Structure 1
Amino acid sequence: MNATTPSLLIAGRFRPSTGQPPAEVINPCTEDVLWTAPAAGPDEVAEALHHARQAFPKWAAVHGWERAKVLRGIARAMERKKSDIARALSLEIGRPIAQSDGEVAIAIEQFDWFAGEAERLFGETIPSRQGGRLQAVPEPVGVVAAFTAWNFPVNLIARKIAPALAAGCPIICRPSEQTPLTSTLIAEACVEGGAPAGVVQMLHGKADIVTPLLMEAEEVRKISLTGSTRVGKMLLAEAAKTVKRASMELGGHAPVVICEDADVDAAATQCAAFKFRNAGQVCIAPNRFYVHENVAQRFSDGMVEAARALVLGDSQDTATTMGPLTLASQRDRVEKLSDETVADGAKCLTGGCRPASRNKGHFFEPTVFSDVPDGSRIMREEPFGPLAPIATFRDFDDAIERANSTPYGLSAYGFTSSQTKAEALSAKLQAGMVGVNTFMIAHAEAPFGGVDHSGMGREGGRQAILDYTNVKLTHFMAA
């Protein structure tokens, strides 16, 4: 097929068109149309479900070592397509090309990791007190429906396809409407890597058409979502109607506690790099900065210096270090939130507006605020943009309490040179993942996920594959 054409993948075949109206994909850097994408309708959803249902018993019966070969085949196919995938990703969401290349590399690791998990997916034998033996065996849960967001369109979908295939489950993916070419290239890699027809299927299209049909289907036994808490609640309510298993990676609002004894200059450099990565559109981005009052000025100065050093520009320009917001609606939301923060009494130290040099594109300057009140909306809601609010604290326990003041619990961070405080940050910060003196918390070999309103289940690590299995117990007794 033509690699530049977004297409559906159903039963091992690519479809560049359907009977539904196609959707335009807008370049967030230029606001020009990149391409159009086909949209799945009820007929395409029904067909994908039919083929997934047929594929399930065959794929479930494939030995884990053979599944692993397919997963590694997909990884190698993605390596061959790496530059094409990175370019599509960069164009569709506006992320600088070098950063896009890095995401593809991380996604490839998911397939390699879960190839190993497929090979070591064993049950256990338990001696029975009543005689005989107890056997607990993991079995694939069934057909999986996966829903992913646009901000990490390669890694998010890889985190769902890889463990599903490793466990023996066919998967139907509905990626974001903003990233159809990126998703098509991943689908191509799955086919080239050896995934049988019906085991991996890709349905582009409107959420209000595709998603309800997948949710009401009895044959779909598990759903996996990366998205907002609002959407997660809606899907959980629908999942209850057919008792589907659910994994949810939902919204976050990560706090950062900068202790007085931290390496402040290094902390500011790291905080700025990760805050403004992907223009702040990262679920685990540091969002609320609680800085000890004795080092707040130095930290703020470092954040401002790093923010001003960023180069805003077209995602295909290698000199660009920060691109635009992916959606115009998100840019507008960030702009409103920035204005509200100043109105609440915060000081805007840098940024706070659209760049004067850009009259097209969804750009917004990297922005740093100081003296931000705890009651300001930016301290309560995830900005999902390049806004960095700084507040100060005097007492460590007070900082922890304020850090834990939202219902979100995806990630949290702290900077300190004290091992005692490092242990306290790990123990007291209420989040599924904590980084101490680092933001590197996403690894293929480690569990990724949140608690409370940030979701349930884990992606990555040895824990993730278990979310795609049921455990069957058999008690064997001698006749």
Structure 2
Amino acid sequence: MAPAAHSPSPAPAPEPRRYDRLFIGGAWVAPRSGRMIRSIDPSTEEVWAEVAEADASDVDDAVAAARSALRGPWSRLSPTRRGELLARLATLMRRDADRLAEVESRDNGKPLRDTRGEVLRAADWIAFFAGAADKINGEQIPFRPDALAYTRREPVGVVAAILPWNSPISLCSWKLGPALAAGNTMVLKPAEQTPASLIELARLVEEAGFPDGVVNVVPGFGAIAGAALVAHKGVAKVSFTGDHRTARKIMVSAADTLKRCTFECGGKSPYIVFADADLDKGLTVATHSAFRSTGQSCSAGSRVFVERPAYEAFAERLAARAGRIRVGMPLDPRTHIGPQTSAEQREKTERYIALGLEEGGRALCGGGRPASLPRGYFVEPTVFVDLPNTARLAREEVFGPVALVIPFDDEEEAVALANDTDYGLVGGLWTSDVTRAHRVAGRIEAGLVSVNTFRPVHHMLPYGGFKMSGIGRENGLEVLKEYTEVKTIVVELSSEPPGDPFAD
């Protein structure tokens, strides 16, 4: 008898990549607890990296290092020199874009072409604020003819940046660039789900030649390292991107020392399509706006309002386009969108899909796991119809690849539906009527409103939310106000002796 055939043994999984040091005070130090965070590759559900976990004592060390740098070598550098260091960092990020993108894709599941683009754009952000560093000016005030009054803009101090898991390097650049340009020092805490790419970025900070302690990176869990950081008396400002419920907790904690806070929180963004619009272009942008980054974006165009004459055809075409999106492995160049970043996020999205069906909605496409991807946190792009704006699927942030299309009858109803939400981050409308464009854009309650495009985020454009979508602004020269204190100085010029109000 011929011997039985044997299937080859599967190749053993590679050993997890190790990042076993924190970056504190310009040195690579072991976490005091010795604990490590296990980073899961969301496309395989396997541990791909182990990252040092900071606790409260490590946070103390990082804040002390940042305060020392603030009062020491960093304060003695000219603004132009600060800008040169930021420009050097931007150059290094461009040089290492492929490596940084690969790490971020392994960490959060985004396709490699997306993460590489984000790294390159992050370098643009850093370069923009490099140029702004020596252009932060005060003002002279004509207070009195015999006095000189002027203002100075000074750094607020140590800035704690609490980063999200959906775009760590990109959103880090939104905070790092303006904070350092204004002369602050920083402690960065990446999300526990995606801790590796900020360690890689810290290596470039070190190579760029920043003084020790100007930038510190302490990966850790929000309830431990994050809580210690936002409560720390040595921290002057907290900049946070994430869920509004976490922002509330940060605000309560920060209140003890009256810290400044900047929050960029969630959204339930309206995407309004009038029947007179270029529907082909509007459809292309709607598909991208709803499903890019697997829907894991605070500004995803997840509520699509279409004027009734165009509604049915637009919804069907959007579903057809969504059905053609290639869901796949992040490192595959053919992939359009990857998995959700965590098992918890996938389960949340699946609950909302089930809820949409329970509430009477109809899924025109998607609703499940791609058949070809039995492992990983994958969800098919899903388009719902037949639900009102009062449904939970319309009111609550899913943070997954789910869009809801809702009809409207006239401009007044479109505005009312768009604004009937607790959020106000971005909004957009499509129309060929120029007067309607300005009229409706002015009435949408959101920090960024776009006409015949959607979410044109750029380092030159201020960005932030109304209502529960946040406090303060990021990007543009406007953000420099968030990272500076205004000091007023008055110098008496008169040689006349002052009058004595207590003389007889």
Q: Deviations over 1:17-75 (max 9, x none)?
A: 54232111111001011011111123211111111111112323321101100110110
Q: Percent identity?
A: 36
Q: CA deviation at 1:425?
A: 2.3
Match of 1:14 in 2: 28
Say which is worse superposed, 335-344 or 129-138, in terms of deviation: 129-138
| Alignment check: 8 A CA contact 2:339 2:377 kept | yes
Distance in 2 of aligned mates of 1:267 and 1:20:
52
Shift of 1:459: 1.1
1:75–1:193: 8 Å Cα contact kept in structure 2? no
Partner of 1:160: 175
How many equivalent residue pairs?
478
Q: Structure 1 residue 249: deviation in Å?
A: 0.5
2:446 paired residue among 403, 409, 431: 431
1:378-457 equivalent positions in 2, closer than 5 A: 378-457=393-472
Q: Distance in 2 between matches of 1:54 and 1:381?
A: 43
Q: Is contact 1:148-1:225 (8 Å) kept? A: yes
The C-alpha deviation readout for 1:80-111, integer Å capped at 9, x for no partner, is 21111000111111111111111001100111
Picking from 33, 37, 40, the partner of 2:54 is: 40
The AA in structure 2 aligned to 1:56 is L
Q: Aligned with 2:48: secondary structure?
A: strand
CA contact (8 A) 2:448 2:455 kept: no
- Is the CA contact 2:31–2:58 (under 8 Å) kept in the aligned structure 1? no
Distance 2:460 2:204 in 1: 22
Partner of 2:279: 264
Aligned counterparts of 2:210 and 2:153: Cα–Cα separation in 1: 21
Alignment check: 8 A CA contact 1:3 1:185 kept: no
| Counterpart-to-counterpart distance in 2, 1:448 and 1:96 | 25
Give me the whole-angstrom Cα distance separating, in 2, the residues matched to 1:171 and 1:313: 36
User: What is the match of residue 3 of structure 2?
Assistant: none
Q: Are 2:66 and 1:52 aligned?
A: yes
Counterpart in the other structure of 2:11: none
Contact 1:254/1:412 (8 A) holds in 2? yes
Three-state SS of the structure 1 residue aligned to 2:415 is helix
Q: How do 1:342-381 and structure 2 match up within 5 A? A: 342-381=357-396
Alpha-carbon distance, 1:301 to partner: 2.2
Are residue 187 (structure 1) and residue 202 (structure 2) matched? yes
Give the SS at the match of 2:390.
Answer: coil
Name the CA shift for 1:215/1:5 in 2 (closer, same or farther; >3 Å): closer
TM-score of the aligned structures, taking structure 1 as reference length: 0.97
User: What is the aligned counterpart of 2:104 among 76, 86, 89?
Assistant: 89
The answer to whether structure 1 residue 100 and structure 2 residue 105 are counterparts is no
Q: Which amino acid aligns with 2:186?
A: I
Amino acid at match of 1:346: G
Q: Deviations over 1:336-387 (max 9, x none)?
A: 1111112212211000111222210000100011122222101111111000
Say if 2:488 is the partner of 1:473: yes
Letter in 2 for 1:19: S
Whole-angstrom distance in 1 between the partners of 2:193 and 2:233: 28
What residue number does 2:19 align with?
5
Pair 1:20–1:206, CA change in 2 (3 A): farther
**Aligned-partner Cα distance in 1 for 2:490–2:396:** 51
1:228 aligns to what? 243
For 2:203, the aligned partner's letter is E
Q: 1:472 to 1:350 in 2, by over 3 A?
A: same
Q: Which residue of 2 aligns with 1:136?
A: 151
**Structure-2 separation of matches of 1:295 and 1:56:** 58
**Deviation, structure 1 residue 4:** 6.4
SS at match of 2:318: helix
CA distance in 1 between counterparts of 2:227 and 2:319 reads 45
Separation (CA, whole Å) in 2 of partners of 1:33 and 1:18: 23
Amino acid of the structure 2 residue aligned with 1:22: M
Match of 1:312 in 2: 327
Structure 1 unaligned segments of length 5 or more: list them. none
Choose 96-105 or 122-131, whichever is displaced more: 122-131
Residue 4 of structure 2 aligns with which residue? Answer: none
Aligned equivalents of 1:18, 1:125: Cα separation in 2:
49
Is 2:45 the counterpart of 1:28? no
Q: Distance in 2 between the 1:228 and 1:364 partners? A: 21
Counterparts in 2 of 1:4 and 1:38: CA distance versus 1, 3 Å: closer
Return the index of the structure with the highest Cα Rg: 2
